[in-house]
A and B are shown apart, each in its own frame.
Chain A
């Protein structure tokens, strides 16, 4: 080509050394020169490009636009450096495209203005740029994320601060308003903080309590155990329900029950105490009562044992001498009858009678003590049936007597069958005995109300008694009648009274001389 020829050999050589693709275009837009770099970049032979419109190197969709740009440029050709227009797309022979940066330099020649296009493949740069952009974007995203995180954390912290503040206020309120005694004490033995209840409970001012080691307020007897507990706390062990006495300002002591939890890290103990003085005093009282009761039970047991030993001895030893008196009196009466006058015989008879009476007294005494000593077996007892049996027994013993028994049926009590039989036998025995002189004896058994309780009664129309002596009726071996009139040892009613007392009931009597008597008794649980 002419243009090519007009460029000097040196010029061409220089253009070959440039690392960019060089395409020279004339005013018609035809390619007049390409360097070997351009051949390499675009993939065309030199001949395939020379003389062709430069638009061959532009993607088809941009060709019209390029033609426009080109004519614009030719109207005002000025050098244009690289970097002014980086978005130019070039087309290779193989139809692939690549981004390029192009600088344009117009040259005046004889053949008109030629434009040298320096074309630089900026695919790599673009990629790098893209990478940077992407990295930037990533960075920005990460920054945004981190910022969001920090913001959230901040908000959380703020909220926590608010919550903690509220909690602290609540805790302080709780500490102040609690009805329990609350405190924080140091491992150094001093109170650090006390709620107002302390002042109310002990009477000391808070400052007074804080001023001295707390052990000085503890009752001297409780100091050792208190120290032991404090030691436990210092090892990180909680203390539950520990009790000790604290000195009040007025000199008295109050029992406090402690729950405490230590923080070894802070060298502090957090503790709650409760004033249990009242309960403690009650416990002490109960303990004392129990001790008294135990003591009394023991005394009772000892007394019972003694009674038993006594009864045993009476049973074995007291009768033997009586037997001798009676036996030898009898021997005298039998073997020496010829040597005795009537008075002598009478005396011996009296000795015998006295021995036998004493034997009877001993037997009665033993049965009285047996009633006291025997074990109780409570069960429902049909008293009506029991009295009917007893009545039948008396009738049979003296069938010739005119006697009527009036027994209310169906009376049941809760008690010891054996003992209640003995009691009723004695009461009926009395009634039977003291109606012995009646033309027509009437003996009744029934129930009435006395002070809201069921009171059973045994009533007769016999000899009765003078109410003046009513108090003596139930004493052991007490008698209101002469032996001649009504025989007996006077033990029956004291046996009855003991039985009724053992049932937790009471017994009393009403009577009038020659107008009969009524014996009332209650049994507890009826």
Chain B
């Protein structure tokens, strides 16, 4: 059993994991976060493997403290190497990450993707608008909800 941590005001610990392979989208997302005064640490993974390495302290992230987990994961679907659905599947099948809030943030409005995403346990599905103003608004609401309003799940330590 773990003690539920009191809400930590330290933004450093409310990490956002952004899984995004498109560098333009990365820049725009970071900019949108900044414009909304969301100053949390953002870890960027540029493909599925990198995302999983970060979460499970493997590869380039070997030795990372897995007691620190992101407050929310913003997950693109179309990714090199391992795609978003596979990343989501692995997150949900590991006891350390299975409760992490995952928001699918993608260009696609395909019904197939929506069904797949929710079936695999996505907490939310947001289609990135082309209109940047709309995008900023979406990021603002997203940040407000997942970083402020939403209570993160307690961290489950591996025994």
Contacts and interface: CB of A to CB of B under 8 A. Distances in A.
A306 to B, nearest CB: 15
Interface residues of A, number: 25
A319 B107 contact: yes
A208 interface: no
A326 B131 contact: yes
A327 B135 contact: yes
B109 A320 contact: no
B76 to A, nearest CB: 9
B106 interface: yes
Contacts of B99: none
B110 A319 contact: no
A330 B132 contact: yes
Interface string A322-334: 1110111111000
* B106, B110, B135, most chain A CB atoms within 10 A: B110
B89 interface: no
A315 B107 contact: yes
B25 A320 contact: yes
B130 A322 contact: yes
A324 B25 contact: yes
A356 B108 CA distance: 16
Contacts of A311: 110
A359 B132 CA distance: 12
Nearest to A366: B109
A324 B78 contact: no
A327 B24 contact: yes
A216 to B, nearest CB: 63
A317 B135 contact: no
A243 to B, nearest CB: 49
Interface string B53-92: 0000000000000000000000001100000000000000
B108 A312 contact: yes
B133 A330 contact: yes
* A318, A319, A321, most chain B CB atoms within 10 A: A319
A272 B98 CA distance: 76
A255 B96 CA distance: 74
Interface in B101-145: 106-113, 128-133, 135
B130 A323 contact: yes
19 contacts: A311-B110, A312-B112, A315-B108, A315-B113, A316-B77, A316-B78, A316-B106, A317-B78, A319-B128, A320-B24, A323-B28, A323-B128, A323-B129, A326-B131, A327-B135, A328-B28, A331-B28, A331-B132, A366-B110
Interface of B: 22, 24-25, 28, 31, 77-78, 106-113, 128-133, 135
Cβ-closest 7 pairs across A and B: A359-B130, A324-B24, A330-B132, A327-B132, A327-B28, A319-B107, A315-B108
